[in-house]
A and B are shown apart, each in its own frame.
Chain A
Amino acid sequence: MRLLFTLCGLLAVGFVLLITVYLVISGIPAIREIGLGKFLLGRTWAAGQDEYGILPLILTSVYGTAGAVVIGVPVGFFTAVFLAKAAPKKLASLLRPAVSLLAGIPSVVYGLVGMRVLVPALRNSLHLPAGDSLLAAILVLAVMILPSIISLSETALEAVPREYEEASLALGATELETYLRVSAPAAKSGIAAAVVLGIGRAIGEAMAIMMVAGNVANMPALTRSVRFLTTGISIELNYSQDGSLQRQALFSVGLVLFLFITLINAFLNLVLKRDKES
């Protein structure tokens, strides 16, 4: 029995290795053929002319994620403080399931609402020819990372020892001052982990932004139609020929995305580990 269970345990490791090996093996050929510099720094992605430069994709993913974090993190953080510290019990017990429902809503549903509500609203209010844009994607991503930021930050804030807060209150600080100047700094590594997790979510999302970003591989600008690393794969995966350079280039994009995610995860583990030690 022991052997069987050991095998089950090793399977998780095996899957990670399998995924890594397959991604590397399938991702390398196109990079070889195109050339690493031309692949990473090329400014045009045009499958028709066999030109595969992914700089626009990389920059769009970076800007899009940054934008989502700039909007989503403050809102998520204050909501978490509210839930963990300031909210009346009844209100918190209503808001908490609401947050977990937000987390559970499938990404295509976010995409659908974004496509039918957000995109037309942006087009009309900003007088754009089309509302499908980086801005629309950023807003959708900000909403999508909100629940993970809220629930992780809340857990971190709730783990702050009550004595810290009581000491601060006894010294004459108000409750609100205590939450932001004592509780939040004490929970900072947990909150940092929440932000990193949010970044991981945002950079990996594909379907929702595929429905609102317009999917043209432009260099990123807020009101322009853009293509992310994720949507760069998803938009062409079903149309590319098996074994073609285009298909192989998609695998290379996947490899780049995988490297990004691995970096983020390594960073997350580092943050969490430091948290455990302190």
Chain B
Amino acid sequence: MRRKLYGFTVRALLYGCAAATGGLLITLVGYIIFRGVGGIDWRFLSTAESVISGTVGILPAIKNTVFVIAVSLLVSLPLGVGAAVYLTEYARNRRFVAAIEFASETLAGIPSIIYALVGVIIFCTALRLQKTLLAGSLTLAIMILPTIIRSTQESLKAVPASYREGALGLGSGKWHMIRTVVLPSSIDGIVTGCILAAGRVVGESAVLMYTAGMSMAMQSFSPDRVAGASGATLTVALYHYAKENADFSTAFSIATILLALTVVINFSASFLGRKLKRS
């Protein structure tokens, strides 16, 4: 009898908690889409906010988001892949490896508000970049570095040693071997790392709010003006509309777009990772 009761209770707990988690997601997503999808149309996506015509548009935020993703990846990708290559292919000193891995884990554990402070101190003030998208992107480049290192490192480790031995045995130099054999066969991890990193950038708000500005106006990305561009990305725009303008329908519309982006990013990370591995 007692055992039966135990079994029943545990089963109820397991199913109950799983149902709570699943139900939570469905409610969250359902509610956000319900409140937000109505406000999304072509004008919303393709124009800037206009006080004169009283319309809201988020094109500047979309452009800023794309810019920040591009610049932070551009900076972080070579550094992260380089670090991963060093860790798996070159490093012999175990203490050295441990120090670098510890550093990378520390970077991954630092909360974004600390990155915001660091960005303000180092990039905005000490390097005099002011509050610009460039300063925000550089701060984020440090933040996403561990994601890229870890993902690349994992797939580098999965490259069979026989590949390396084969290349070296045919007379290839080490760098040539890495470039033509090791890196191409670990492309799945590098791509997955980039997608996950892009996902973090899309979802990040604290860093960008304080290092990249909150303007909703269209920015110019022409080469001579790009360094001064300063504005809100999608997440910062959401905060701006919700907390400072109390315009919740716009905030929910942006939330719907962010949700869609999250789904696309999650899906493509697992899909591309699998597909590239197979080929």
Contacts and interface: CB of A to CB of B under 8 A. Distances in A.
Contacts of B102: 269
A101 B99 contact: no
Nearest to A16: B103
A128 interface: no
A26 B117 CA distance: 10
B100 A9 contact: yes
Contact of B21 (A95, A105, A242, A269): A95
A98 B263 CA distance: 10
A190 B238 CA distance: 36
B17 A10 contact: no
Interface in A64-103: 74-79, 81-83, 86-87, 91, 94-95, 97-102
Taking each of A76, A79, A102, which has the highest tally of chain B beta carbons within 10 Å of its own beta carbon? A79
Contact of A143 (B11, B24, B210, B235): B24
Interface stretch (B44-52, B83-91, B221-229): B83-91
A75 B20 contact: yes
Contacts of B266: 97, 100-101, 104
Contact of B17 (A78, A100, A180, A242): A78
Q: Identify whether the interface residues of A are mostly helix, strand, loop, or mixed.
A: helix
A4 B161 CA distance: 23
20 contacts: A5-B89, A9-B82, A10-B100, A12-B104, A13-B99, A26-B117, A76-B21, A78-B14, A102-B28, A104-B266, A115-B243, A116-B248, A143-B24, A176-B14, A179-B10, A206-B112, A233-B117, A234-B116, A254-B117, A265-B106
Interface of A: 1-2, 4-13, 15-16, 18-19, 22-23, 26, 74-79, 81-83, 86-87, 91, 94-95, 97-102, 104-109, 111-113, 115-117, 143, 146, 150, 174, 176-177, 179-180, 200, 203-207, 210-211, 230, 233-234, 237-238, 242, 250-251, 254, 257-258, 261-262, 264-265, 268-269
